[in-house]
Structure 1
Amino acid sequence: MKRLGPLTVVVALVLVQSGLWIQRLEALHGDSAKPLTPITIDYPADGSIFPPEITSPTFLWRDPAETATVWTIEATFSDRRQPLKVQSSGDRLLIGDIDPRCIAPTNELPNLTPEQAAAHTWKPDRNTWAAIKRRTVERAATVTITGFRDGNLKEAVSRGQITIRTSKDPVGAPIFYRDVPLMPSELQRGVIKPLAPKALPLIAWRLRNIAEPRSRLLVDGIYTCANCHSFSSDGRTLGMDMDGPQNDKGLYALAAIKPEMTIRHEDVVRWSTYRGALGGRLRAAFMSQVSPDGQYVVTTINDPGTESRERAHDLEGKYYVSNFKDYRFLQVFYPTRGILAWYSRATGLLEPVPGADDPRYVQTDGVWSPDGKYLVFAKAEARDPYTAGAKMAEYANDPNETQIQYDLWRLPFNGGKGGRPELIPGASGNAMSNNFPKVSPDGRWIVFVQCRNGQLMRPDSQLYIVPFEGGQARRMNCNTPLMNSWHSFSPNGRWLVFSSKSRSPYTQMYLTHIDEHGNDSPPILVENATA
């Protein structure tokens, strides 16, 4: 099997919810008609759209017909030419290799669910998959899986069917992501610490080109946490939040993209060194984002008002943090106080964004419109992250978590002068937490996360899409039953990559196609990769 990173992935696990139950069909054999047992095709889902450059997927199905021992997979095409038909023994699903360094007392080896253990698989060879893609560009093919009693293929006992097609739109860029082991650390109130210090070097930064069978390792062995990252629109500048000593989350790297990169001391911004209106009290920044032209950074910082002076170095006053022993969802953290600030590379100044600097609220998750003229951000009434005497949460979505629901707002950047913020209809006022917005490269859409409370790594998180100006938000078709978040658009805006725990606690990445009307397709697994 294939090595898939530090205990963070299972190869091609079953996407249970996407199975398509086929109505009982009839097949004629001689003069008699026999009802066929319906096969559940779990992956790909009916109506799936594949990128033109992606390698072959692993088809998954469950066949309740006990007498089925061999299967045919037949693809019929809209061109009405010769169909493509292959025979498969329907090998069982297997778990990939495990990195032994990431096995810990606080996690466990991946296990197949009963549905996954019952699944059969077929992976087209390179030529077969190329032929399928070539004949399904913008045209649907019907894929029929039929179960037979034996290799003579004379007596069919089961059948299932889906349609798939291939988009003309390529993803067009590799995916830059982190491979993080799930090794819960000891609980410590107010400290963002999902991993023990000795586990930090196991975090790997990888590049996943979906036209290749596996990802490429870029960086590992780093003894500090480098996490939230973004790029300028031209792909020339990388921005990355970094941790310093003693849980100092006030470092930020800005570096030019090169074939071989080194982040040097002079590439690192230390927010706490900036004086003037913000003083030297900034020890934490959150969800920093590079502007499209690479000249600015917007970030969430500690409120520089009176409360910050009193608790200048206390993360407990700004963020709700809880680390759990349950490796499946081992951490939750989100800001309950803070403002947006912008940094200029030209001036070296960090200043509040007028219109997103109200200390009565927490303003966070700031992202740029593709033309750099607007900021979209999440906002909620500010509150203390912890209530005196309150019981600590013990698991994700524990009712004892501090409750906060964000709304999405839009604000003109205006060269740093800001302006009047506007509530975004469809992403606000719905008694849910609306967060982590991303604006499409054409500026027409906002894809955001909706969950009951807080943000980031929420089991109930779902992806929604709404027009940039606001309007009717729509729950996206690509959503899986468990955690949908950490999404990002492809450069051409036609694909969205996101993370989910639907198949396994060990997070995996998926792709969905978004057309010019904002309609998206069922999720496509990025195999041999994790997130």
Structure 2
Amino acid sequence: MLAIVTRTTSLLGLLIVLSALIDAPVSARPENTPLKYINLIETWDAATARTSADDLLAHMSSDVYLPEIVIGHPDDGAVFPPNMAAPHFFWNDTFLFSDAWLVVIEAAGGERVCCFTDQPRWVPEQTTWNWLLRHMGNNAATLTIIGVNRSKGLQPVNRTQITFSISPDPFDGVLFYKQTRLPFLTAREHPEQSAWVLADITAYEPPRTVLTGVRSCAHCHTFSPNGQVFGMDVDRNGDKGGYLLAPVTPRMQIDKGHFISWNTFGPEDGRSSMGLFTKVSPCGRYLVSTVKETSLFAMLPDIWFSQLFFPIEGYLAVYDRGERRFAALPGADRTDAVQTCPAWSPDGQTVAFARAPVNAALVDLMQDKKYLTPAKGETIADLNRRYRIRFDLYTLPFNHGNGGKPMPLEGASQNGRSNYFPRYSPDGRWIAFNQSDTGLVLQPDSALYLIPAEGGKARRMRCNTGRMNSWHSWSPNSRWLVFASKAITPYTELLLTHVDAAGNDSPPVALSRLNRKGFAAVLPEVIPQEGSSLECIRIGAGVFAGKDE
């Protein structure tokens, strides 16, 4: 996947002009080893495709130099869940040397699937993928793509080979995410077009839309780790601090009683709250959020990066569902710093968060403004140079809401970078977080890092692509991390990486079945498999007095 971005955008793939040595030929097949042949070329019959595949493989030689095909997905070394539906394989012949391709997947025991196609992509059928899984086991398979130009017979004109494998660790959750229009200004003007979707990556059917048609700004949904409590920022009747909070049932019916407002907290100071990046505690009793915030916000017409957003003032507050009261979280309530992006440890005893000094110049700039209007032609890079902020990660004992002393997280603080969006792995061993030169949301250079939960040396994750990696969420078994990226298109897509017991991750796997044309997939949240029973979320007619601005 990253190969397509880096190679095709750099001098139009000039490196492909160089001939590449094919290191390993497709192996000689032991007699009686199972084979499958697939023909997707309409002008050929099955017998022609089978004969052509056998002849082509029989005459391949590792001594022949051939130009490379760029495999867009999967990356070399990718690891798939054993219960994932068949992935999309796609590739790119930059200089159009070939007009048909033989795709060969070979298991360690010599079992092969051979597919001839005249399109630079292939999605195995369910029976074919299940056949491959059965023969691959936990051993790596070899993917070979050989390009031919049919006007020149069946002589190979280019070839590439990689390996991929299947993990023994299942993906043990379901995905809840938002589909939204781009650029952000379009989504803001037409919130009713957004949809919230529940997806089972094992399924061959399209994801299930559970909520749509909300005529109000709604964003930043979350679940309690057990998937039993659902929350989401929803502007309600002019209240930007509105928050939907409800128990999860198969058919959720939302009424006025399911809303709280972060503006209920501390009204005497005259400052309003939006309640940014709210998270529900593991026990489901507490919510922690950024309140009394001032934010720097600018919208751009660029669909790649259409907004700059980060809080420049604000602190953390807690809502206690049991006692129905709000309170600041001591230790994360400084007024000379902005504190945001909270995350709960799995035991609910610790809150990790991002902190940065208050920049008085930025506060003065935004004093009477809802947002900035960039000059015509300005880009996210221009705005990042002008409006800078760098966050450090801290951890804080929750102490039943009494807080404590915040401590900088070693390896994710005071490193000359911006560190944000910490997420604990459910087993409590790791924190995955974002890092970029500046900023917080939607940064082109944002990359995922992994660090021991108690702090230490941060490791840049192998799954990072060349363009924006963020909004990550762990699977319940702590073996998979889902995240959003713009590696392939400006319409953000969801990717998946495997994380082993030692914290080593794999190249990314694209969840292409979850894509919707013309929409970005954002804010993925993994919830336990039991959450797959969620059918719909219905908001009652009396919840909104009218369209919120």
Alignment of 1:91-170 (within 5 A): 91=119, 120-150=120-150, 155-170=155-170
> Structure 2 CA distance, aligned partners of 1:33 and 1:234?
56
- 1:32 deviates by 12
- Asked if 1 retains the 8 angstrom alpha-carbon contact of 2:3 and 2:70, the reply is no
- Asked if 2 retains the 8 angstrom alpha-carbon contact of 1:90 and 1:122, the reply is no
> Structure 1 CA distance, aligned partners of 2:317 and 2:502?
33
> Structure 2 CA distance, aligned partners of 1:454 and 1:476?
20
- Relative distance call for 1:500 and 1:66 in structure 2 (3 A) is closer
Partner amino acid, structure 2, of 1:212: A
> Structure 1 CA distance, aligned partners of 2:103 and 2:256?
57
- Asked if 2 retains the 8 angstrom alpha-carbon contact of 1:273 and 1:280, the reply is no
- Asked if 1 retains the 8 angstrom alpha-carbon contact of 2:139 and 2:166, the reply is yes
- 1:183 deviates by 4.1
- Relative distance call for 1:275 and 1:428 in structure 2 (3 A) is closer
> Structure 2 CA distance, aligned partners of 1:218 and 1:31?
53
> Structure 1 CA distance, aligned partners of 2:410 and 2:61?
62
> Structure 1 CA distance, aligned partners of 2:63 and 2:266?
83
Which of 7, 16, 28 pairs up with 2:5? Answer: 16
> Structure 2 CA distance, aligned partners of 1:438 and 1:30?
48
Cα-to-partner distance string for 1:415-469 (whole Å, 9 max, x where unaligned): 1111111111111111111011111001111111111112011111111111111
- In structure 2, the partner of 1:103 is none
- 1:184 deviates by 4.7
- 1:336 deviates by 0.9
Return 230-239 or 61-70, whichever deviates more: 61-70
Partner amino acid, structure 1, of 2:162: I
> Structure 2 CA distance, aligned partners of 1:388 and 1:200?
28
Partner amino acid, structure 1, of 2:287: V
- 1:159 deviates by 2.0
- 1:137 deviates by 3.4
- In structure 1, the partner of 2:423 is 438
Partner amino acid, structure 1, of 2:427: D
Long gaps (5+) in structure 2: 9-14, 26-57, 516-520, 523-549
> Normalised by the size of structure 2, how large is the TM-score?
0.79
> Structure 2 CA distance, aligned partners of 1:33 and 1:473?
42
Partner amino acid, structure 1, of 2:253: T
> Structure 1 CA distance, aligned partners of 2:503 and 2:156?
41
- Asked if 2 retains the 8 angstrom alpha-carbon contact of 1:14 and 1:60, the reply is no
- Asked if 2 retains the 8 angstrom alpha-carbon contact of 1:42 and 1:60, the reply is yes
Alignment of 1:248-267 (within 5 A): 248-267=239-258
Cα-to-partner distance string for 1:300-332 (whole Å, 9 max, x where unaligned): 111xxxxxxxxxxxx6xx111111122321112
- 1:233 deviates by 2.0
- 1:163 deviates by 0.6
Return 64-73 or 167-176, whichever deviates more: 64-73
Partner amino acid, structure 1, of 2:223: F
Long gaps (5+) in structure 1: 1-11, 92-119, 186-193, 303-314
How high is the sequence identity, in percent, across the aligned residues? 38
- 1:283 deviates by 3.0
- In structure 2, the partner of 1:110 is none
> Structure 2 CA distance, aligned partners of 1:428 and 1:90?
51
- Asked if 2 retains the 8 angstrom alpha-carbon contact of 1:72 and 1:85, the reply is no
Cα-to-partner distance string for 1:352-395 (whole Å, 9 max, x where unaligned): 11111111111111110000000000001012435559996443
Which of 470, 475, 494 pairs up with 1:509? Answer: 494
Matched, 1:25 2:10: no
Which of 69, 77, 80 pairs up with 1:47? Answer: 77
> Structure 1 CA distance, aligned partners of 2:275 and 2:158?
57
- Asked if 1 retains the 8 angstrom alpha-carbon contact of 2:224 and 2:281, the reply is yes
- In structure 2, the partner of 1:83 is 111
- In structure 2, the partner of 1:180 is 180
- 1:518 deviates by 0.9
- In structure 2, the partner of 1:481 is 466
- 1:212 deviates by 1.8
- Relative distance call for 1:35 and 1:266 in structure 2 (3 A) is same
- In structure 2, the partner of 1:115 is none
Partner amino acid, structure 1, of 2:453: F
- In structure 2, the partner of 1:351 is 327
- Relative distance call for 1:83 and 1:334 in structure 2 (3 A) is same
- In structure 1, the partner of 2:530 is none
- Relative distance call for 1:407 and 1:161 in structure 2 (3 A) is same
- In structure 2, the partner of 1:113 is none
**Secondary structure, counterpart of 1:234 in structure 2:** coil
- Relative distance call for 1:33 and 1:368 in structure 2 (3 A) is closer
Partner amino acid, structure 1, of 2:333: D
- Relative distance call for 1:149 and 1:253 in structure 2 (3 A) is closer
Which of 483, 501, 509 pairs up with 1:524? Answer: 509
Partner amino acid, structure 2, of 1:86: C
> Structure 2 CA distance, aligned partners of 1:448 and 1:268?
30
Return 394-403 or 46-55, whichever deviates more: 394-403
- Asked if 1 retains the 8 angstrom alpha-carbon contact of 2:180 and 2:193, the reply is yes
> Normalised by the size of structure 1, how large is the TM-score?
0.81
Return 233-242 or 255-264, whichever deviates more: 233-242
Partner amino acid, structure 2, of 1:138: N
- Asked if 1 retains the 8 angstrom alpha-carbon contact of 2:4 and 2:92, the reply is no
> Structure 2 CA distance, aligned partners of 1:128 and 1:163?
18
- Relative distance call for 1:324 and 1:349 in structure 2 (3 A) is same
- Asked if 2 retains the 8 angstrom alpha-carbon contact of 1:77 and 1:136, the reply is yes
Partner amino acid, structure 2, of 1:381: P
- In structure 2, the partner of 1:320 is 296
- In structure 2, the partner of 1:339 is 315
Which of 234, 237, 243 pairs up with 2:235? Answer: 243
Which of 414, 420, 437 pairs up with 1:452? Answer: 437
> Structure 1 CA distance, aligned partners of 2:278 and 2:322?
17
> Structure 2 CA distance, aligned partners of 1:13 and 1:215?
25
- In structure 2, the partner of 1:305 is none
> Structure 1 CA distance, aligned partners of 2:61 and 2:325?
84
> RMSD of aligned C-alpha atoms?
2.9
> Structure 2 CA distance, aligned partners of 1:196 and 1:31?
56
- 1:275 deviates by 5.2
Which of 196, 205, 214 pairs up with 2:196? Answer: 205
- Relative distance call for 1:264 and 1:160 in structure 2 (3 A) is same
Partner amino acid, structure 2, of 1:431: G
| Alignment size in residue pairs | 465
Partner amino acid, structure 2, of 1:84: R
> Structure 2 CA distance, aligned partners of 1:389 and 1:183?
22
> Structure 2 CA distance, aligned partners of 1:225 and 1:209?
26
**Secondary structure, counterpart of 2:172 in structure 1:** coil
> Structure 2 CA distance, aligned partners of 1:125 and 1:17?
30
> Structure 2 CA distance, aligned partners of 1:462 and 1:432?
11
- 1:39 deviates by 2.7
> Structure 2 CA distance, aligned partners of 1:396 and 1:441?
34
- Asked if 2 retains the 8 angstrom alpha-carbon contact of 1:17 and 1:480, the reply is no
> Structure 2 CA distance, aligned partners of 1:129 and 1:365?
40
- 1:157 deviates by 3.4
- Asked if 2 retains the 8 angstrom alpha-carbon contact of 1:18 and 1:42, the reply is no
Partner amino acid, structure 2, of 1:224: S
- Relative distance call for 1:399 and 1:49 in structure 2 (3 A) is closer
> Structure 2 CA distance, aligned partners of 1:71 and 1:458?
37
> Structure 1 CA distance, aligned partners of 2:198 and 2:151?
42
**Secondary structure, counterpart of 1:253 in structure 2:** strand
> Structure 2 CA distance, aligned partners of 1:286 and 1:491?
24
